[in-house]
Amino acid sequence: MTVAVPMRDGATVMLVRDGPHEDRPLEVFMLRRHPNTAFGSVHVFPGGVVDASDHDPTLDHFCPGLDDGDASEQIGLSSGGRAFWVAAVREAFEEAGVLLAGPVTGGYVRFDDSPSVEERFDDHRRALNAGERSFLDVLAAEDLRLTLADVRYVAHWITPEGEPKRFDTRFFLARAPEGQAYAHDDGEIIGSEWVRPDDALRRHRAGDFPLIGPTISSLQDLGRYATSDELFLERSRP
């Protein structure tokens, strides 16, 4: 008798930039998961499970660019859609030290303004990963607003039946803000790097860059674009 594996909602975000390459400089930030995590030691984009806290209505104050109705419509849900955006942003901060948020006046927060700012956000990240602080606590303490309007929804993947763990995952895309950590957490994540999509796929074919299906497909899509401007210009078209 087959036992049904419960499906969990998930969210992941592809953080892209133009790297130091003369030819096709578009890069994406990738993490390598610990062998004991779901799907083993594969390279992935920052992401994880959508938590109950990601649905907290208190987040309305911190998400001026996207309400739940608009978010839900974009991904084909009746409600609860914005939680996928929030989860993608939260997981990027937890796993990679990247926070897609900024002051009320606009822009992105920088961690490199001073050593004290960097230390403060390192402490926020540590406390968040340890369960000592919520994502809402971090946003409130720093008076930040999530830049969800700049996070583009791009794909929907569901883990096939038969896998020991199954996820209903939404994929997002965002420009990588400057002046932040871009460092893995040394917990569930054991490595991180910037890589051009075609280079990642080439290394995968050579056997030294493990990937799973949705990540391969996403990299193939990103590889169609030479620069981040080209990518976002295409994504801005109806």
Q: Give the pLDDT confidence of 1-13 residue by residue, as tens digits.
A: 456 778 899 999 9
The pLDDT tens digits of the residues spanning 157-193 come to 998 887 778 899 999 999 999 999 898 877 778 889 9
* 159-161-164 Cα angle (round to 5): 80
* pLDDT of 38 higher than 80: no
Q: What is the mean pLDDT of residues 73-86?
A: 97
Q: What is the mean pLDDT of residues 45-58?
A: 96
To the question of pTM greater than 0.75 for the whole model, the response is yes
Amino acid at residue number 65? G
